[in-house]
Structure 1
């Protein structure tokens, strides 16, 4: 099978498309014929060797956590799923023609493989950080860097829970943020004053890692009301850095429920082939996404 891997840490040029042996489902796992794989910032952070404590790996290593596809092998002890089922979930080395998933759910009706691959990690992350930041119904959540996959999920999940949202993003994404129910403003010089004009902020999330942690603390008045998933320096300001995943099966179940109720939709901004994995990482690192980036297999 074809698979993307790397043999040394470094820039996107270390990614190689190779012929590899097919993986097989172990106990509690399923194997899928991959139709699409989600591109996440954690993918290039791992490739660069940034987060080896949280994601220890041995080289050579594959790439990718999220995928959608068709179940073609079921491991020992797995029940409630059949060969041929369309699923999406999380596993390992998903930039490949076959991948093993450790958490999965059946795809909701009407969801394409391309769309489904964009949900697993971002919904788990969104649910986790909304809980960690402690924002309650009736309060206002500020989301810095709100137009990407996690931001898109956060805005919609928060609104569904009765939480008001303010989102910062690029000028081209203002209408998109408003379509998700946010009060929107641009980042850049003067952004703190623009946020203040939109109203008081009870809690804040840093999704872009653009060096705004001190301003988010200033706006909320409490570093414990700020959580970052992108700025490794956050603890220096008393702010929690959230990098350890919670329950992926629970997150997938909630994603299915939200999608089925029409309360969650994350658009696919751009697609790539396996051979274009390096380009996908370059684009992901640059940011400015509206929704998700996905590799089609």
Structure 2
């Protein structure tokens, strides 16, 4: 037997249960990963609490929990050539990651990647969803050297990647957040402004020369402010916004290139990009971890460890 987080009904963190389940094994074309770390994302608790969202991802009850993981390959099925027992790996497996083992087709939609020696399992477990989402948003808006980019929700799990990737591209970054996160954002290279009513005026005061692109990582407030500031709609991107303003690009990690993660891990290895981990929890405290993450007041990423 092994352990997995499972839920039988949709709801808040209280529906998540750590249970003993039959130990899975790799079949032909699959590998089994012994999971050591799970990076939490907003989509995880959305899928476990909103039936309509779960349906869009083909999730039925009872279901597993979480997507991003890192660990070590411990079984390799027939026909797999690129992975061997003992390889450190990371990847994404929707509604499967919070478990002792993940069985995955390494060449499928949930592609598996080798973890560079310079990257810890805890950091690797945060990369697949947040890193690709940030990369997709920057690509959609065409961020380049000389741009001034407004990033809404800059202190969150995707925001920490978006800020640093924009800076690496040579852009100036203005990040919206609560005032309590201003020093944190400055440490990432962003110039902070408070979100909420009056955002447009505060951005204009901070950047009299104007903003050339914008990424809204939470709702549409930043996108609407960017439009009011004269940013062309095609240079504004949102993620997870149900009704983005007309002409604004809606994007997600599915729009990113697999090579984007190679760029991110290379930047981490070179010391050019850091992944702030706000807090770690053991698997037994999954409810507490999700409760903190879903409060959306976390600076950086939350990681669940299995050791």
Q: TM-score, normalised by structure 1?
A: 0.91
* Mean Cα deviation higher: 258-267 or 65-74: 258-267
The answer to whether residue 122 in structure 2 is matched with residue 114 in structure 1 is: yes
Question: Corresponding residue for 1:34?
Answer: 35
Alignment of 1:50-69 (within 5 A): 50-52=52-54, 54-69=56-71
Q: Does 1:100 align with 2:108?
A: no
1:165-184 CA-partner distances (Å, limit 9, x unpaired)? 11111212112211211122
Alignment of 1:58-97 (within 5 A): 58-92=60-94, 93-97=96-100
Q: Does 1:254 find its partner at 2:256?
A: no
Separation (CA, whole Å) in 1 of partners of 2:44 and 2:230: 31
On the 8 A contact 1:104/1:252 being kept in 2, the answer is no
Which residue of structure 1 lines up, in the alignment, with residue 146 of structure 2?
A: 138
1:91 to 1:152, Cα distance in 2 relative to 1, 3 A: same
The alignment covers a number of residue pairs equal to 296
CA displacement, residues 254-294 of structure 1 (integer Å, 9 cap, x when unaligned): 22222122222111101122232222222222112211011
> CA 1:123 to 1:28, structure 2 compared with 1: closer, same or farther past 3 Å?
farther
Give the match's secondary structure for 2:48: helix
Q: CA deviation at 1:129?
A: 1.0
Structure 1 stretch 194-203 or stretch 31-40: which is displaced more?
Answer: 194-203
Residue 185 (structure 2) aligned to one of 171, 177, 183: 177
Higher RCO (CA 8 Å, separation ≥ 6 residues): 1
SS in 2 for 1:149: coil
Secondary structure, aligned partner of 1:51: helix
CA apart distance, 1:247: 5.3
Query: What is the TM-score with the length of structure 2 in the denominator?
Result: 0.88
Q: Compute the RMSD of aligned alpha carbons.
A: 2.1
> Aligned in 2, Cα 1:53/1:247: closer, same or farther, shift over 3 Å?
farther
Range with bigger deviation, 268-277 or 52-61: 52-61
Q: Is the 8 A contact 1:220 1:226 kept in 2?
A: no
Q: Per-residue deviation at 1:142?
A: 0.6
Structure 1 alignment gaps of length 5 or more: none
Aligned-partner Cα distance in 2 for 1:113–1:61: 25
Unaligned runs of 5+ in 2: 105-109
Counterparts in 2 of 1:265 and 1:30: CA distance versus 1, 3 Å: farther
The structural deviation recorded for 1:90 is 1.4
**Whole-Å Cα distance in 1 between the matches of residues 21 and 213 of structure 2?**
46
- Alpha-carbon distance in structure 2 between the residues aligned to 1:75 and 1:216: 50
Structure 1 segments, 4+ long, off by >6 Å, are none
Pick aligned residue for 1:291 from 283, 292, 300: 300
